[in-house]
Amino acid sequence: MKRQKRFEMLEKRPIHQDGFVKEWPSEGLVAMMGPNDPKPSIKIENGVVTELDGKKREDFDLIDSYIAEYGIVLDNAEKVMAMDSTKIANMLVDPNVSRKDVIKVTLSLTPAKAEEVISKLNFGEMIMAVQKMRARRTPATQAHVTNVRDNPVLIAADAADAAQRGFPELETTTAVARYAPFNAISLLVGAQTGRPGVLSQCSVEEATELNLGMKGFTAYAETISVYGTDQVFTDGDDTPWSKGFLASCYASRGLKMRFTSGSGSEVMMGYTEGKSMLYLESRCIFITKASGVQGLQNGGVSCIGIPGAVPSGIRSVLGENLLCMMMDIECASGCDQSFSHSDMRRTERMIGQFVAGTDYISSGYSSTPNYDNTFAGSNTDAYDYDDYYIMERDLAVNGGIHPVNEQDIIKIRSKAAHAIQAVFDQLGLPKITDEEVEAATYANSSKDMPDRNMVEDMKAAQELLDRGITAIDIVKALNDSDFKDVAQAVLNLQKQKVCGDFLQTSSIFDKNWNIISAVNNPNDYQGPGTGYRLQNDKDEWERIKDVPFAMDPGHMQF
């Protein structure tokens, strides 16, 4: 065939490097309302669920049993299940119906009914609904802080940098698993240097992650994965009961935690039972609710390429965020994995969450260039900062971060690098040189950092655990080296763990350790003039307006 030149040009556009597939429902490659999804139903006899979404109690799998036991408010269930799904969808969108009244209905849905409700909404209606249904009034976002060499000085500097930009939660992980204790303490010290009250976590294997939290090196955990089919749950080496118990273990140590799920994980792991992605995700959300966990990270997450490849998939992903909010759960809404080569499509991926505002619009925004993102890259990275600020400014939307001044960033990066240098010195860990501190202060990526002896670092990182070092030792180390303010912040965080206020839904802290959560900052959106309005949040609006590269017409020289 003789090629048409415009088609040839189009094929060279970045979008053509993305993967797209046609629907294949029997393998679960369908966004929502697949032909094999069960019909919604519930039967309750003497307070016991005897039928759930078309399945009899004797045929329940582990997930069904768990949801039937703990996941549904039964008082209202038969009445709510008899309601028309379109009517419930309408309540979600209608600003005249309060969030509270919607929750009374949605907590008594079954997974299949909740999926059906979501399927009635178009993308614009989902944005309207998310605006009302997110748990916390004030939106926020979360950052990834990692580098491919697990360089501790750079993690501390990047953490301080991200904290100054306004991220209230920072997440790290490792390139090499044995580095975990170093990454956790570097992130902790950097975060508390950048802005007291910022929460930090280190995403590693479940038991290790809990152990780091118990030592006071982290404040919360997020990568506690749940899945929508029994087989995949088992392959993930857990059951609903083990994950529910783990949730309680975290709370018993005063640590905030949320689960993780997302469309596409069952396709990826090969056992969908022929169900659609949104139906399986709905089960994950109900498992989270059943466990009494305050929050969930969902929205495709690391499997976003799969819903992203099928028709209506990105719409469905916003739908799963909304479904999480309908269960009155904190929602960290994905947008955290690079999945498209097209800048236009990257923007599309987050636009619903960004415009509506969620508890954490991204669960994580890469605070480093994606080269250094050891979560395999995020949808937005450090190179997108200025574009993102301008989107906030153009649309008057609080996307959770704000512009910063270069001098301030140099200063805070330097302080964090010096602070971690001091901690390493006081704790007898491998030396951090002045050259490294200087490099981390001015670095763009780990390519700008001098080499470290990684074998020695890994050995010392393991010994840190064996020696029984805890956050108290870090407080003392910081104090002894004249970082009293950082020491105080690290101690304050431990004190908050004794108090437990941040175990409540959607909790973050401001710089004075005031808690901002769904309990004392509940979303009260009910149409124009209500809810969170950026222009009424005067300090933040000033920060967002004040991009350093805007011209000042009053001081222009002609």
Q: Does 113 bind other proteins (CB under 8 A)?
A: no
What are the DSSP E strand ranges found in 282-418? 295-297, 330-332, 363-366
Q: How far is the CB of 401 from other proteins (least distance, A)?
A: 25
**DSSP 8-state secondary structure symbol assigned to residue 527:** S
Tokens at 485, concatenated: 């303010």
Tokens at 526, concatenated: 């009910």
**Cβ closer to other proteins: 241 or 383?**
241
Q: Does 290 bind other proteins (CB under 8 A)?
A: yes
Q: Does 136 bind other proteins (CB under 8 A)?
A: no
367 catalytic? Reply is no
51 catalytic? Reply is no
171 catalytic? Reply is yes
**Cβ closer to other proteins: 237 or 435?**
237
Burial class of residue 528 (count of CB atoms within 10 Å of its CB; 0-12, 13-18, 19+): exposed
- Of 108, 142, 201, 337, the catalytic one is 142
Return phi, psi of residue 144, to 5°: -95, 135
Q: Which of 44, 97, 176, 251 binds other proteins (CB under 8 A)?
A: 251
For residue 285, the tally of other CB atoms under 10 A from its CB is 29
Binding part of the chain for other proteins, among 78-86, 450-458, 469-477, 532-540 by CB under 8 A, reads 469-477
Q: Does 472 bind other proteins (CB under 8 A)?
A: yes
User: How far from chain centre, in Å, is Cα 413?
Assistant: 24
Runs of H (alpha helix) within 4-84: 5-11, 62-66, 77-81
402 catalytic? Reply is no
Q: How far is the CB of 485 from other proteins (least distance, A)?
A: 11
Rounded-to-integer distance, Cα 122 and Cα 442, Å: 46
Q: Which of residues 490-549 bind other proteins (CB under 8 A)?
A: 491, 494-501, 503-505, 513-515, 518-520, 522
Q: Which of 26, 122, 234, 530 binds other proteins (CB under 8 A)?
A: 234
Helix (H, G, I), strand (E, B) or coil at 220: strand
Angle (nearest 5°) at CA 105 between 94 and 98: 35
Closest CA to 306 of 282, 277, 345: 277
C-alpha torsion sign, points 343, 348, 350, 355: positive
**Cβ closer to other proteins: 41 or 65?**
65
**DSSP 8-state secondary structure symbol assigned to residue 227:** -
Are 395 and 350 contacting, i.e. CB atoms less than 8 angstroms apart? no
Q: How far is the CB of 268 from other proteins (least distance, A)?
A: 19
Binding part of the chain for other proteins, among 138-146, 152-160, 230-238, 436-444 by CB under 8 A, reads 230-238
- Of 192, 362, 363, 496, the catalytic one is 363
Return phi, psi of residue 507, to 5°: -85, 135
Q: What does the per-residue mask of binding to other proteins show for 199-218, with x meaning CB under 8 A?
A: -------xx--xx--xxx--
- Of 336, 359, 457, 473, the catalytic one is 336
297 catalytic? Reply is yes
- Of 222, 238, 384, 457, the catalytic one is 222
- Of 171, 206, 238, 328, the catalytic one is 171
Query: Which residues, 6+ apart, have CB-to-CB distance to 393 below 8 Å?
Result: 544, 545, 547
To the nearest 10 degrees (0 to 180), the angle between helices 471-480 and 484-499 is 160
Rounded-to-integer distance, Cα 103 and Cα 230, Å: 28
504 catalytic? Reply is no
496 catalytic? Reply is no
Q: How far is the CB of 379 from other proteins (least distance, A)?
A: 30
Size of the site for other proteins (CB under 8 A): 68
**Cβ closer to other proteins: 135 or 350?**
135
**Cβ closer to other proteins: 291 or 333?**
291
Q: Which of residues 335-394 bind other proteins (CB under 8 A)?
A: none
Return phi, psi of residue 123, to 5°: -60, -40
Query: In DSSP terms, which residues pair with 509 in a beta bridge?
Result: 515
**Cβ closer to other proteins: 439 or 469?**
469
Measuring CA to CA, how many Å separate 149 from each of 121, 418, 422, 446? 44, 19, 21, 7
Catalytic (active-site) positions: 142, 144, 171, 222, 297, 336, 363
Q: Which residues bind other proteins (CB under 8 A)?
A: 61-62, 65-66, 69-70, 73, 100, 103, 206-207, 210-211, 214-216, 230, 234, 237-239, 241-242, 244-254, 289-294, 328, 470-472, 475-476, 479, 487-488, 491, 494-501, 503-505, 513-515, 518-520, 522
